[in-house]
A and B are shown apart, each in its own frame.
Chain A
Amino acid sequence: MDRFSWSNGLLEINETLVIQQRGVRLYDGDDKAKMDLGVALLSTHRLIWRDIKNHECCIAMPLSQIIYFEEQAAGIGKSAKIVIHLHQVPANKEPGPYQYSKYSYIKLSFKEHGQIEFYRRLTEEMTKKRWKNTPVSQPIPTGTGSQAGKTRAVGIVGIERKIEEKRKETDKNISEAFEDLSKLMVKAKEMVELSRSIANKIKDKQGDITEDETIRFKAYLLSMGIANPVTRETHGSGTHYHMQLAKQLGDMLQAPLELLSPEDLVNACKMFESLKLPLRLRVFDSGVMVVQLQSHSEEEMIASALDNVSEKGSLTAEEFAKLLGLSVLLSKERLLLAEKMGHLCRDDSVEGLRFYPNLF
């Protein structure tokens, strides 16, 4: 946080605002910064942050300070963040809120969402590095041509360039979207070939189906979510595949790169306890299933829900979700649980469903 300098928040002549996002809290390394919630603004040149309540408190940092940055996904009770790693403090840096910091990275915590878009725009700006070209519109050197001709060329070429960029972007998006599909198609092709070979062997009664082929076939079936039909193993006894999957999920909730069937995911999650992983699959009365940290005890959740509701007088599921940075679905389940335990009661009217502390 010692890379920031005080700023009046006004943009320079050639500086443009790219995106702004409310509800951002700053972190000095892993520690919460001394400021409250604010608005984070990204311009072509700088990263600016302004306190929501006190507009005088405004700080900025040139984008050139950024070495690299990464996303930190939201967790249970945690908002999504962007971690930004920074160069050393330049000697000529203007004073800012922090004289010194032991960290050379900061975090932006997005309490009111917006992390995905902000990250995307930051990536764009850090790629384009527009702060290096100070003039607004850079005339494209066309070599020869009159003055008037040059200006016209800039205009048209600029538009053409934009169209080309957009086309490349679209292409990239489409090919990314189809990457998974092409992986699936490759697997499908292998499977089709294998099943064809087995089918032929059966038809022609041509020798035995090798053990290797059988294993491969079973593996393909499993990866499509079909439980092994030959040995009739269920998830209860745990197939090797599910065990491996559960372990992987336990690590960082990162699924393998192949497409994963819902049944496989649920079966793997059911094994968390037996594999002594610190995650649990939890099923609510409504049937909604969530994966949560084992440390998340019911009492804690209910107590915190009651605190939040009492503090605000009453809350809807949407308001509660926003407050905690949770999905609406999960926040509703939590409120319903607290109601079931008798800590909350409901007010159901044309205005919607609201939860109050149970004063009865």
Chain B
Amino acid sequence: MSFEWPWQYNFPPFFTLQPNVDTRQKQLAAWCSLALSYCRHHKLYTLDVMEAQESPMFNNKKIERKLSMEAIQVVFEELRKKGNLEWLDKNKSRCLVMWRRPEEWGKLIYQWVSKTGMVNSVFTLYELSNGDETEGEEFHGLEDWMLLRSLQALQTEGKAELFTMDDGKGVKFF
């Protein structure tokens, strides 16, 4: 299924950082939403900022408009404040994109665990993300770093406990 662009994507002013504060707020909200949907659709978990500027996400070749580097940084800062983005380096050249926050993933995983009656069972991380049983679930294929954070979130809520085994990490659900 191809990605559905929001109407703003074909509106040239969308690609100019608006000076009017109220207008800018709405503009940024739309950009955050677009960035997260795009990453979700293409299952992107990390972004390189330079590459992102050239990708269709920020560069609409049809109307010959693209977001400036300055504007992209503003959008990313908004995402960071909302908890959807984390910088991997001090130079802000690469970042993790959490189109779903760890807490949200944790909730999904726990739902599946309780639905399948697996509470009090133990899983390896690999089983959760790549096991046959989780095939078809949204969190199937989740990258390790994200899975770990999601489980850590559950751990904080007291719904799971992480532990280390010989060949990797495991988790028990309560």
- Residues of chain A whose beta carbon lies under 8 Å from any beta carbon of chain B: 314, 339-340, 342, 345-349, 354, 356, 358-360
Q: Among the listed B8, B16, B27, B30, which residue makes an inter-chain contact with A349, where contact means beta carbons less than 8 Å apart?
A: B16
- B2 close to chain A: CB less than 8 A: no
Q: Among the listed A340, A349, A360, which residue makes an inter-chain contact with B12, where contact means beta carbons less than 8 Å apart?
A: A349
Instruction: Please indicate the chain B residues that have their CB under 8 angstroms from the CB of A349 in the complex.
Output: 12, 15-16, 64-65
B4-31 CB mask vs A (1 if < 8 Å, else 0) is: 0000100111011011101100110010
Closest B residue to A314 using CB positions = B12
Complex contact B30–A360 (CB within 8 A)? yes
Instruction: Please indicate the chain B residues that have their CB under 8 angstroms from the CB of A342 in the complex.
Output: 20, 22-23
Closest A residue to B16 using CB positions = A348
Size range of the interface on B? 10 to 19
* B interface secondary structure, majority: helix
Q: Among the listed A339, A354, A356, A359, which residue makes an inter-chain contact with B20, where contact means beta carbons less than 8 Å apart?
A: A339
How far in angstroms is the closest Cβ of chain B from A336?
Answer: 9
Q: How many A-B residue pairs have CB under 8 A?
A: 41
Instruction: List residues 93-139 of chain B with CB under 8 A from any CB of chain A.
Output: none
CA distance A248 to B28 in the complex (A): 51
Q: Among the listed B20, B30, B64, B65, which residue makes an inter-chain contact with A345, where contact means beta carbons less than 8 Å apart?
A: B20
- Residues of chain B whose beta carbon lies under 8 Å from any beta carbon of chain A: 8, 11-13, 15-16, 18-20, 22-23, 26-27, 30, 64-65
A-B contact pairs, 6 of them (CB 8 A): A339-B20, A345-B23, A347-B65, A349-B64, A354-B12, A356-B13
Instruction: Please indicate the chain B residues that have their CB under 8 angstroms from the CB of A340 in the complex.
Output: 20
Instruction: Please indicate the chain A residues that have their CB under 8 angstroms from the CB of B65 in the complex.
Output: 347, 349
Closest B residue to A339 using CB positions = B20
Instruction: Please indicate the chain B residues that have their CB under 8 angstroms from the CB of A347 in the complex.
Output: 12-13, 15-16, 65
Instruction: Please indicate the chain B residues that have their CB under 8 angstroms from the CB of A356 in the complex.
Output: 11-13
Instruction: Please indicate the chain A residues that have their CB under 8 angstroms from the CB of B27 in the complex.
Output: 360
Instruction: Please indicate the chain A residues that have their CB under 8 angstroms from the CB of B19 in the complex.
Output: 339, 346
Interface-central residue, A339, A346, A354, A360, by most chain B CB under 10 Å: A360
CA distance A358 to B20 in the complex (A): 10
CA distance A346 to B65 in the complex (A): 13
Instruction: Please indicate the chain B residues that have their CB under 8 angstroms from the CB of A346 in the complex.
Output: 13, 16, 18-19
Closest B residue to A355 using CB positions = B13
Instruction: Please indicate the chain B residues that have their CB under 8 angstroms from the CB of A348 in the complex.
Output: 16
How far in angstroms is the closest Cβ of chain A from B17?
Answer: 8
Q: A339-B20, A354-B12, A360-B30 are in contact. List 16 more A-B contacts (CB 8 A).
A: A314-B12, A339-B19, A340-B20, A342-B22, A342-B23, A346-B19, A347-B13, A347-B15, A349-B15, A349-B64, A356-B11, A356-B12, A358-B20, A360-B8, A360-B18, A360-B23
